[in-house]
């Protein structure tokens, strides 16, 4: 469960249910709500602020490959909503869209601590496909990923992070 309030509000719960004694396979249903305040700029000038809300449910099936790697596929369905907070009345006031996504992701994690690792790496890659035949309002393919590497440094921890995403 996750509960966060502030500029970004996040409410999230999921249930991890192993399907075998060795926990090689599992099912993970979840429900999520997120609301962010985002500024829209034209050049260097802020022209509007919008609240972006995202509420969705997810049903994921996964496989653990030892204690370091995990592969997950599933279906995510929900609603995206924008509400104008400030800005010209000629800008859209609020928009709503349904989104349904089929996703596949892989994680490889050798970090010694999730919160503040001093050594190890994390590699995460996800492919997502949304199409109107799934009930969503948008058609797209998205690939995103992140790589982190943690090093002990002068009695502290140095974490290098690289990430990116793009539509296909």
Summarize pLDDT for 51-76 with one digit per residue, the tens: 899 999 999 999 999 999 999 999 99
User: What is the per-residue pLDDT for 89?
Assistant: 75
pLDDT tens column, 75-119 = 999 999 988 888 777 777 788 889 899 999 999 999 998 888 999
- Tokens read off for 82: 């924008």
- Tokens read off for 72: 């997950």
User: What is the per-residue pLDDT for 120?
Assistant: 96
Q: What radius of gyration do the chain's Cα atoms show?
A: 19
- Read off the pTM: 0.81
pLDDT tens column, 128-165 = 999 887 777 888 999 999 999 999 988 888 999 999 99
User: What is the per-residue pLDDT for 135?
Assistant: 77
User: What is the per-residue pLDDT for 3?
Assistant: 94
Nearest CA-CA partner of 42 in 109, 94, 101, 88 = 88
User: What is the per-residue pLDDT for 105?
Assistant: 97
Identify any residues that bridge with 14 across adjacent strands, giving them in sequence order: 30
User: What is the per-residue pLDDT for 115?
Assistant: 82
pLDDT tens column, 3-55 = 999 888 999 999 999 999 999 999 999 999 999 988 889 899 988 888 899 99
**Phi, psi of 132, rounded to the nearest 5 degrees:** -60, -25
pLDDT tens column, 126-137 = 999 998 877 778
User: What is the per-residue pLDDT for 92?
Assistant: 74
Contacts of residues 38-42 at CB distance under 8 Å and 24 or more positions apart, as own/partner, are 40/87, 40/91
- Hey, CA dihedral for 35, 36, 41, 47, is it positive or negative? positive
Under a CB-based contact definition with an 8 Å cutoff, are residues 63 and 25 in contact? yes
User: What is the per-residue pLDDT for 84?
Assistant: 84
Identify any residues that bridge with 9 across adjacent strands, giving them in sequence order: 35
């Amino acid at each position: 469960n996750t509960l966060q309030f502030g500029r970004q509000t996040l409410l999230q719960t999921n249930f991890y249910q192993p399907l075998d004694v060795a926990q090689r396979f599992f099912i993970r249903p979840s429900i999520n709500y997120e609301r962010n305040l985002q500024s829209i700029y034209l050049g260097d000038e802020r022209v509007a602020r919008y609240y972006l809300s995202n509420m969705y449910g997810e049903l994921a099936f996964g496989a653990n490959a030892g204690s370091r790697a995990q592969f997950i596929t599933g279906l995510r369905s929900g609603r995206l909503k924008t509400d104008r907070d400030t800005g010209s009345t000629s800008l859209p006031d609020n928009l709503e869209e349904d989104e349904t996504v089929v996703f596949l992701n892989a994680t490889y994690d050798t970090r010694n601590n999730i919160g503040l690792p001093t050594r190890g790496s994390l590699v995460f890659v996800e492919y997502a496909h949304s199409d109107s035949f799934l009930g969503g309002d948008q058609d797209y393919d998205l690939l995103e990923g992140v790589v982190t590497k943690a090093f002990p440094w002068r009695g502290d921890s140095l974490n290098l992070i690289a990430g990116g995403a793009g539509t296909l």
